[in-house]
Structure 1
Amino acid sequence: MGKIAYELEGKIAYLTIQSPPANALSSYLIKDINEKLNKIESENIAKVIVLKGEGKFFSAGADIKEITALQNSSDYESLSNQGQQVFDRIESLSIPVIASIHGAALGGGLELAMACHIRIVAEKAKLGLPEMSLGIIPGFAGTQRLPGYVGTAKAYEMILSGEPISGPEAVKWGLANKTVPEVDLIAETTKLAEKIAAKSKPAINHIMRLIPFAKTELFSKGVREEAKAFGTMFGSQDAKEGVQAFLEKREPNFQDK
């Protein structure tokens, strides 16, 4: 089932995704992230949060096996809404969240990372939204956040092709702040976290409140539409074929239905 480990070091809160082998994001883990945010806010000590993954990956996607166990379009839409709400909470926090990304941030993993305020990425990490390769679409606001970072043309390319980009490419396209060798990732992330934690907490809180005003109201409409489309897509024959092909480690044979 996995969990989100929580550790407080000084004024820095570390949240670690622990769900081997791929740190796939289940609804349980998303709920656990929310509960850890409750704890951090109630303690009112941390000035910055570092989110990272244990093992080989940051998070290689959503939990496909859990998703395929759902039955109705409304179940899929509810799952999408749940993820969107928690990720929206991360983005709206009065505390900055730094995603420290190694291995891979794919699908739901990248959508989680995009909800964070800053991304430090290992050079060999892979970042992408491969859902289209499974005959489905992103469901945790990926269609809405990605264009804001990389522009619409690159977002179309990444989502429609399903091909991931590397750490240096993520920096080039504005998806990541900085790329470093994996061996230096935690040290570099901590260095930045310490710089932020040295600042005045009320001043940090004001900055976290003010920058989001730059986001348009269309974003809220867009994520609602994404959740509906996410639910609709899972009723398609191509989605069933795509997910089955993924589980069987073969190429899908889409019939465009």
Structure 2
Amino acid sequence: MPGTDTPAVTWNIADNCIMTITLQRRPANALGPAIIEGLGTALDAADAAGNVKVAVIESSIPGFFAAGADIKHMSGGDAESFTAYGDQLRAALDRLAAPGRITIAAVEGVALGGGLELAMACTLRVGAASAKFGLPEVKLGLIPGAGGTQRLPRLVGRGRALDIMLSARQVPADEAYTIGLIDRLVADGTATATALELAAELSTMSLPAQQAVIRTVDAAFDLPLEEGFRFEVGQVQQLFESGEAKEGLAAFLEKRAPKFA
């Protein structure tokens, strides 16, 4: 079990180009400087390796994916340090959410506040049956400040997002799955295994095509419909001209597995 001298975040890269990032800061994976720095170091390692196709984020702390921001750290400083902490947390989550990166959150236990914002920054979310999700910041006189007010409505819609944030309630996993907050609902104790199976499946696909899917879907929220259509056409053409689509089409006709870059 992780001790006081154990890093807040560890990671490994498997032979199938899948990185597992493990949060292990007791007692509840509060997203203080240790986890923020650990996430950044893990992503630096993924970038340096150059072969990571999918990253899975899990927790080793029973009952907690991540309980939220580090309240002690937030309350112990002045306005300048509060701003710096928020900037650092947002920067880490923005790196996770970048369209060139595919990440899966494997949620066992609670994902609250910054913990849910971390999960929402990932490309996909796998939730265990007893997991709970929430953004309780209004109880502290705050609002979600690491992208939660923007990402949650994009996942579940305006009305549901307001209900969750204004009430500060905890959303059970079955409801989270129904409203689209999580993408896979699995038995307790299997979230990481399911996320790794999904990562293995995703890693066999064309990464440039997957990245183009993410960019194009994100554009649907930011561009007028006609501009979105044009953006989609440009992405398709780029994939063809880069050779990625040519390889996929040739492999299909030749009845073989494609050899994507």
Using the size of structure 1 for normalisation, the TM-score is: 0.79
Counterpart AA for 1:191: E
Within 2, Cα distance between the matches of 1:199 and 1:44? 17
**Structure 1 stretch displaced more, 33-42 or 86-95:** 86-95
Question: Counterpart amino acid of 1:132?
Answer: V
Farther off after superposition, 179-188 or 110-119: 179-188
Contact 2:36 2:89 in 1 (8 A): yes
Matched, 1:59 2:66: yes
Aligned partners of 2:93 and 2:138: how far apart in 1? Answer: 21
User: Who wins on radius of gyration, i.e. which is larger?
Assistant: 2
Compare 55-64 and 208-217 and name the one that shifted more: 208-217
Indicate if the aligned counterparts of 1:95 and 1:204 stay in contact, CA closer than 8 A: no
Equivalences for 1:86-235 in 2 at 5 Å? 86-216=92-222
> C-alpha offsets along residues 82-105 of structure 1, whole Å, 9 cap, x if unaligned?
222221121115231000001010
Structure 2 unaligned blocks of 5 or more: 224-261
d(CA) in 2 for partners of 1:145, 1:119: 13
Equivalent positions of 1:38-49 (< 5 A) are 38-49=44-55
For residue 230 of structure 2, what is the aligned residue in structure 1?
none
Structure 1 residue 124: Cα displacement: 0.6
| Structure 1 runs of 4+ with >4 Å offset | none
Equivalence for 1:246 = none
Q: How does 1:59-78 map to 2 (within 5 A)?
A: 59-72=66-79, 74-78=80-84
Is contact 1:92–1:208 with CA below 8 Å preserved after alignment? no
**Counterparts of 2:95 and 2:154 in 1: how far apart (Å)?**
18
* Contact 1:59–1:106, Cα closer than 8 Å, also in 2: yes
Q: Provide the rounded CA distance (Å) in 1 between the counterparts of 2:97 and 2:221.
A: 11
Runs of 5+ unmatched residues, structure 1: 218-257
- Provide TM-score, normalisation by structure 2: 0.78
Among candidates 8, 16, 38, match of residue 13 of structure 2 = 8
- Does structure 2 retain, via aligned residues, the 8 Å contact 1:5–1:17? yes
Q: Is the contact between residue 92 and residue 209 of structure 1 (CA under 8 Å) also seen in structure 2?
A: no
Q: CA deviation at 1:203?
A: 2.9
- Residue in 1 aligned with 2:252? none
**Greater relative contact order: 1 or 2 (C-alpha under 8 angstroms, separation 6 or more)?**
1
Question: In 2, distance between residues paired with 1:3 and 1:89?
Answer: 18
Give the aligned partner of residue 236 of structure 2: none
Question: SS state of the match for residue 182, structure 1?
Answer: coil
How many residue pairs were aligned? 216
* Deviation digits for residues 149-196 of structure 1 (CA, Å, limit 9, x no counterpart): 111111111111110101111111111001111122222111111100
